């Protein structure tokens, strides 16, 4: 299992410095988030922030948890991701999903919010991204996007593409099969809510077995996120271990809720990954 740390707070310089601390403390990935206008949160452009993160690190994977292509022009996203892949020396990963409609980047700017349209846009956007990243002539004619033949140069550093992790809601075959066309799944569960257990180790085990039969790559990633207490390594490991044993390949430490000031995040980062493998 590999271990990432999500940095949900701080200005661009603070986040970049925290990414450096993530790398020095032995984590495998430093992640940011992608939003436009969510409540009163201080919100910065993820591609600018991740560029700063890339310049302060040398080893860790970098990505945003998560990007909804349905509200981004896919050809612009292709340029941003390709550029960041080069800047980081081939360390970018692209987690994607339908996106949260409480982000004003959907509802307040006229973007479609119905689930079917967002899913269709996601599928088309991923096809466009992989086509443009190739550096070969590419065209697309779909329900939502149309590209006359174009050749984007240079191609991405990573070949055949930047790894794409897609939200997959178990046991929905449609949702899972979308993820299985790419490089990893951000585990989710159908019907998750206050009265649902959500993603459990058994969910991860089921996803792993399904992926072993259907994934197009032998290196398919199964990603889960949660939060552990850094000053109790045994307790932290006991939380993570069942997911590792079930088949998760990444644990993303995700302190979304307070206390999560930059000082709090720095303290938790320095305590190191909750190694349960």
pLDDT tens track for 182-234: 999 999 988 655 555 789 999 999 999 999 999 988 899 999 999 999 999 99
Kindly report the number of other CB atoms within 10 A of residue 20's CB atom. Answer: 17
The pLDDT, as a whole number, for residue 190 is: 84
Residues in the chain: 277
Q: Report d(CA 63, CA 254) in Å as an integer.
A: 13
Q: Mean pLDDT for the chain? A: 95
The answer to whether residue 135 scores a pLDDT higher than 90 is: yes
0.85 exceeded by the pTM?
yes
The pLDDT, as a whole number, for residue 24 is: 98
Kindly report the number of other CB atoms within 10 A of residue 254's CB atom. Answer: 19
Q: Helices 173-180 and 201-214 sit at what angle, rounded to 10 degrees?
A: 60
Of the candidates 40, 4, 7, the residue with the CA atom closest to the CA atom of residue 23? 4
Domains and CATH numbers, the chain: 2-165+218-270 (3.20.20.30), 166-217 (no CATH)
Kindly report the number of other CB atoms within 10 A of residue 267's CB atom. Answer: 14
Q: Report which DSSP code applies to 155.
A: P
The pLDDT, as a whole number, for residue 167 is: 97
The pLDDT, as a whole number, for residue 14 is: 98
In degrees, rounded to 5, the angle at the alpha carbon of residue 179 between the alpha carbons of residues 177 and 181 is 75
Q: Report d(CA 218, CA 176) in Å as an integer.
A: 16
The answer to whether residue 245 scores a pLDDT higher than 90 is: yes
For the chain, give the percent of residues with pLDDT over 70: 97
How does pLDDT run across 45-104, given as a tens digit for each residue? 999 999 999 999 999 999 999 999 999 999 999 999 999 999 999 999 999 999 988 899
CA 64, distance to chain mean position in Å, is: 5
Q: Report d(CA 47, CA 173) in Å as an integer.
A: 32
Kindly report the number of other CB atoms within 10 A of residue 112's CB atom. Answer: 16
Q: Could you tell me the two tokens for 82? A: 């390709």
How does pLDDT run across 102-125, given as a tens digit for each residue? 899 998 998 999 999 999 999 999
Please report the DSSP string for 48-95 in residue order.
HHHHHHHHT-SSSEEEETTB-GGGS-HHHHHHHHHHHHHHTTS-B-EE
In degrees, rounded to 5, the angle at the alpha carbon of residue 91 between the alpha carbons of residues 85 and 175 is 90
């Amino acid at each position: 299992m590999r271990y990432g740390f999500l940095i949900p707070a701080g200005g661009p310089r603070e986040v970049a410095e925290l990414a450096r601390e993530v790398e020095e403390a032995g984590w495998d990935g430093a992640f940011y988030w992608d939003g436009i206008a969510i409540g009163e949160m201080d919100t910065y452009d993820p591609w600018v922030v991740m560029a700063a993160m890339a310049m302060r690190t040398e080893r860790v994977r970098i990505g945003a948890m998560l990007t909804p292509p349905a509200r981004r022009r896919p050809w612009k996203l292709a340029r941003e991701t390709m550029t960041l892949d080069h800047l980081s020396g081939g360390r970018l990963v692209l987690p994607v999903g339908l996106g949260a409609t409480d982000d004003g980047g959907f509802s307040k700017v006229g973007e479609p919010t119905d689930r079917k349209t967002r899913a269709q846009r996601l599928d088309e956007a991923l096809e466009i991204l992989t086509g443009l990243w190739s550096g070969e002539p590419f065209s697309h004619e779909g329900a939502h996007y149309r590209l006359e033949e174009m050749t984007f140069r240079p191609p991405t550093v990573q070949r055949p593409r930047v790894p794409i992790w897609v939200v997959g809601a178990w046991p929905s075959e449609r949702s899972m099969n979308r993820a299985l066309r790419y490089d990893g799944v951000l585990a989710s569960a159908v019907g998750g809510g206050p009265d649902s257990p959500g993603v459990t180790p058994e969910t991860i085990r089921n996803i792993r077995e399904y992926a072993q039969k259907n994934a197009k790559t032998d290196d398919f990633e199964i990603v889960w996120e949660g939060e552990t207490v850094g000053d109790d390594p045994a307790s932290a490991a006991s939380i993570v271990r069942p997911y590792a044993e079930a088949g998760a390949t990444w644990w993303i430490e995700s302190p979304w809720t307070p206390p999560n000031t930059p000082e709090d995040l720095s303290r938790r980062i320095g305590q190191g990954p909750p190694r349960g493998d």
